[in-house]
Structures are given as C-alpha cells and as structure tokens.
Structure 1
C-alpha cells in the first residue's frame, strides 16, 4: 500500500525502531546520531481495543487515544502499523525514515549480529518460529507490514539472542541426545540487546568493566547474564524466554517433570500448559494479586510478600550460579524496570548475596531515581551499580551503522 510522500521541503532523516509483539507495537524515532529518541510510544490492545500513547523526547504527551481499528488480530496488527506510519508523518517535523530497525527475538545459531533483511533471510527467520513461538511470528509480522507500507526503506533485524553467541559451547548445551542438540535444542539466552547496551556503556561507570560482571535485567520479563571482558559467558534464559528467573507472569526455571504431571494427571494440552507457564504464573500466579512489582511492594497481603520474596530468592540463587560461571564477581548491575526502580528488591538481593562480599549503601540505594549510580558501600568487595538500559537506542545504532547513515 503506497502512502503520501514525506514533506519535501522540511525533510529530517531518521531511523524508526519497532518491537512488535502479539498485542502491542513499541516504537521510537531517532534522528541520525541522536543519543535519545525524538519520540517514543506504543500501540497496545491489538486484538481487543487498540490504543496509542506517544510522547516527544522531552516527555511531553503527543497522543493518548483509542484507535478505530477492527477485524482479526492479524488485520489489526497490520492496520496498527499503517496507522503508525501515517501518525508519524502527521505529527513529525518532516521526518523521513532512512531505515527501520526491528527487535527480532530469535536469530538461531547463525545470526550473531544484526543483518540487513532480504527475502531469503526473512524466510530463514521464519524457520525459527518453533524456537520462539510466542514472539517470533509477531516480529516477522512487523517486518512484513513495513515491507508493504514502506517498500523502499531498508530494514535491519537485531536479535535478542545474538549477544549470547559468545558463550562457551558447554554453557549452551543441554544434556540431551546429540541429534536434538544438532537440531538446535540448546541454550540461546535472550534480552541480548539490553545486555549489549550495558556492556557498551559499562566502562563509563566503573574501572572493572572488563572483569567478572553479572547483570540483572529485571522487568515483566526478567533474566540475568554473566559477562567476562564484556562478553556473555552464561545466561539464565535458555531454549526459550520462559526459563531462568521468576517473572511477571512466567514461571522461570521449572522441573520438566511438572510439565509431564500436567499432561498426564491434569490432562492439560500444549496450549493450556503454554498459557499456564507464560501467562498465569510468576508474580501474578504466586501472589494472586498482580504481576506489577509496584503493586506487590505496596501491598500488605502475605501472598504479595511471598511473591516478592520468591522473586528475590530466585535472583540470589541464579547470581551464585553466574558467579561460578564467571569465576567470581567484580560488578553487579541492576537494570530494566524493576532493576532500576525497585529499591527493596535490590536491597533484599544484595543482603542475600552478602557471602559474595556485597555490602550495600542503603542511603544510595534508597535515593531518588537518579541514574546511573553506584549503590555499594565503599568497602564492598563487589561494586553494585544501577544503570538504565536502552534497547531502542541499540537497535537505532545498529540500523544506522549497517546502512552507513
């Protein structure tokens, strides 16, 4: 579908970043070489009641309205992208997309770096749908829709798995028959764009950046990774993004026997188990109240406290595992929504990790949300930092670099 031309007399070249999920599309617009977006927003409620929220780089609201989009979820997804492109043109100052960068969850074993999309690569990425069934199809939908709406604009795929391809073979291998391993059933790790941003920015905040670092990306989706020399050596997420830490609605690490029990004793099918593991568990399932850490921390219900305690316990357990994989620990970084803003979670995790020599500066930890900052005590053996992550900037950076903009 063709669209009206951009404003010819006031053109501003830019890069559009997209993170297309099943019911939402997150977007950012970066002018070339900018360190912050000119605007950022999200279309959510796709498949139900689509709604757009957007603000400019200064945080001023640009829009917050429901969209008149109907039909199947697939049609709504496509129409939402079409609306987004038109919206950008009507609200912008002559912005013209010179490239579109996509977050693609799975790049398999082959893609260890962002790539310029071609029809052949698009088809190959479709073969990874079985490795990320809840994410990959929607990432590809976003690519296809932009290809139709903006056919002359090059697109870049940035993979959430790519950063972890530096891990040793043993760190990626399950104890399964080799035939399954050879088919690609192994640990991939996710949230790679976030870890890459932290690795890139770390030298500005510590002289231990190239040492043994554990990063806790804590949000509705949570994971941790160990880095040595700012390269991934281990991660908590494995074959899928449901592994590892307890999350907002995902179980995290789970005895495979539980799945067999659900199949045999509860007679649940794959769809019902998938819904349970991904949508009904985690903080929401344990608390029975909410998946939102802010609500749970504010609640005096014992189930809310138990959910928070379990979340912190799982982080502490995995931190010990990552320290073992890295051969020790020099720096611990908290990032993402919970990591950056939930001081009680950071305090509890650090208290449980005292055996690693971590000592927290409680005043620094509880200070207003000034980021980045160090929250460890001067005599702490491990430096503890709170650093903001920026996956969108990472995508924009790769898009500009690959396109030579």
Structure 2
C-alpha cells in the first residue's frame, strides 16, 4: 500500500488534479476534467497510461466521482491520506493551510463575495470530496496566505476606520504560486532569494508580487482578485468612480457590472477578439496589438511600483501560462522597464500543486 496525496484545483467548469507520493512527493498522476455542466471530458495520465474520454459530469461532485473512480481503477495500491484543495480567499483569518472542518467550511463560504469566480467552486470541490473520498481529511491551502505578513502601509485602503475594521483591506492572491517561486529561488539562486525580486504570475488571472528576502512585501491584487493588472477577462485597476457611473449614469445593475468587470473586460474587452494571448499574437487585427501593448505597459507600470515597495529591483521572474510561454509579451514588458538599472530576468514554471502537496505533508506530520 502506497500513501498518496490527491491535490485538487476546482474552477467554475473544470477540475484539475495531481497525485503525489506522500513519502517522496513524486508525482504519480495528473489530469483534469473540463466542460463540467456542458460537454465534460476527462484527460489524465497515470504512469504510462493515458486516458481521454467524454464524461457525464453535470456538477463538481460528478467530476470528483469520476476522478475517484479513475484512481480506484488504475492505481497501484494507493491509499489517499489527504485531499488537498486550492482555496483562493482565506480572508484575514486563514493564514496557513488547515484541515477543513464543517465550521471552517462555513467561514470560507462567507468569503464567496470576495472571489465570486473562484471561491464557490473551490468549496464545491471540498464538499464533493467530503462525500466521496472516504475518511481522508480535506486540507485547504490559501492563495492569500503568502501575503498575510504585509505591513499596514501595504494592506490598508485610504478609508475611514469604521470600514477598515470590517475587513475592507488588501489581501493579495496567487500566493501558492509565489511561495513556490520563493522556494525555487532559495534552492537554486539563494543570492536572488535574499534580494529584491518582482514575480509576475501572468496567466488568465494575473498579478505581481514584490518579494524581498523570500517574503511577500507587496502585491498588485487587493481585496478581491479583480484589482491590479488587466487580465484575460478582468479589468484590473479601474477608477471606482467609473463603477458608480455605470450604476447611476448607465443604469447597470450590480450583476451587470460584476459580469462586465470579471468576464467581459481585460484582454477580451480591449481586443474584442479573445482573452487568449496566443490568438492575439497570431492576429493581424490592430485591436489585438493594442490589447497586448496595453497589457505590457500596465505590467511594467505595476512592476515599477513593486520595485518602489522594495527600494529597488534585482530580478524579474516570469511564471504562469503567459509568463512562461509568450516570449513577445515578456520582451514588451522588459522593453518598458529598460530605463531601470540592470536586473536579471528568469522564467520559472509554476507548480502550485507541488507546493500544496508540500504543505499537506508538513501539516499531516504535525
């Protein structure tokens, strides 16, 4: 019998999973269910076996059931000792991984309005796991946790105290990804790990982190995963007055505004074509070029702000789907930063799942 960790990342219509050996953290399998609720499909690799087939998965519990069935069918004497979940928002309470109890699940549900594109589906994965995975504990790892040590200057909004005391503040996200980068730098480039590094997690969701001596000092996302950089379909920073104008001047409902800011903006809104960078790079439409130029400019502007938070810049690390794979976008960002004193540039692949497995193993050990 081999003890394993099942690591899950649940989105609105997808469920990604990886399986790690609990003792060695060697990856045993990986895969994903896509199209949940529509045309669901399971693609996975377990050892030398590749699986790619349609599913009848109308919700996350059905998708989770398919993953459990897959493990039961193809495993080699595995025993799942914990199911590990990415949870986007931990608020000000959850600053380290935890074993999920019913009380904790209720507390996390209260944070759903702060991450409406992510949190409900993260928690749906936990609920499905509790019903389907037997007696193995569920462990939550939080995207906000890596930023929990920010000083007041960096997590405070310029609001009156009565509102700040209600939890309206900056939290930051993509922390699991940033923590992995910090771990890689400490192991492979310790001189940079001890320096001043801007890390760009650039994907459909995107943010920057100012990392000094391996710790998060500042980040571009705020109370929600909407602030900061323009993203695939999200606005990034926008004048709050524009939002009140949409409501009062244009008569838009809260729901319409939320849909606009989260799902119809960013690269998709700017280009009118797509939120996919590869598609935009291959397009001859001038709107695609404008969207990418805008994106590169805003990333560079925010990177300069992150450098101010650290008092300088020794390295810029690119990670995430765009950061790792879109060389023209990286080059455009760096061209906008060419006025700064020289700094090193690295590309480090994201590995949030392994970081989560490391956390789970440590938590189980305690």
Alignment TM class, shorter chain as reference: over 0.9
Q: 1:328 aligns with which of 302, 307, 312?
A: 312
- Measure the CA separation in 1 of the matches of 2:45 and 2:273: 30
Residue matched to 1:118: 101
Whether the aligned pair in 2 keeps the contact of 1:36 and 1:393 (CA below 8 Å) is no
Give unmatched runs, 5+ long, in structure 1: 1-10, 71-75, 358-380
Match of 1:131 among 114, 126, 144: 114
Name the SS for the 2:106 alignment partner. Answer: helix
**What SS does the aligned partner of 1:258 have?**
helix
2:35 is equivalent to residue 45 of structure 1: yes
Q: Identify the residue that residue 305 of structure 1 maps to in structure 2.
A: 289
**Aligned counterpart, 1:281:** 265
Give deviations 1:1-31, integer Å, cap 9, x for gaps. Answer: xxxxxxxxxx321000011122111111111
CA distance in 2, matches of 1:113, 1:68: 35
For the residue of structure 2 that corresponds to 1:96, the secondary structure is strand
SS at match of 2:193: coil
* Map of 2:20 onto structure 1: 30
How much does 1:35 deviate? 4.9
Per-residue CA deviation, residues 200-259 of structure 1 (Å, 9 max, x unaligned), is 110233322111110001011110010111111100000110111111111111111111
- Deviation of 1:162 after TM superposition, in Å, equals 0.2
1:168 CA displacement: 0.7
Q: Is the 8 A contact 2:9 2:15 kept in 1?
A: yes
Match of 1:109 in 2: 92
Number of aligned positions between the proteins: 365
Q: Distance in 2 between matches of 1:265 and 1:37?
A: 54
Cross-structure match for 2:254: 270
Q: Note if 1:171 corresponds to 2:170.
A: no
Counterpart contact for 2:3–2:23, Cα < 8 Å: no
**CA-atom RMSD in angstroms:** 1.5
> Which deviates further from its counterpart, 323-332 or 29-38?
29-38
Residue 69 and residue 211 in structure 1: after superposition, are their counterparts in 2 closer, same or farther (change >3 A)?
A: closer
- Tell me the equivalent position of 2:349: 388
Shift of 1:267: 1.3
Partner SS for 2:192: coil
Deviations 1:90-128 (A, max 9, x none): 122222211111101111112111111222222222222
Distance in 1 separating the partners of 2:57 and 2:216: 42
Partners of 1:276 and 1:255 lie apart in 2 by: 14
Q: How big is the shift at 1:130? A: 2.5
What's 1:156 paired with? 139
Q: Which whole-Å CA distance do the structure 1 matches of 2:248 and 2:115 have between them?
A: 25
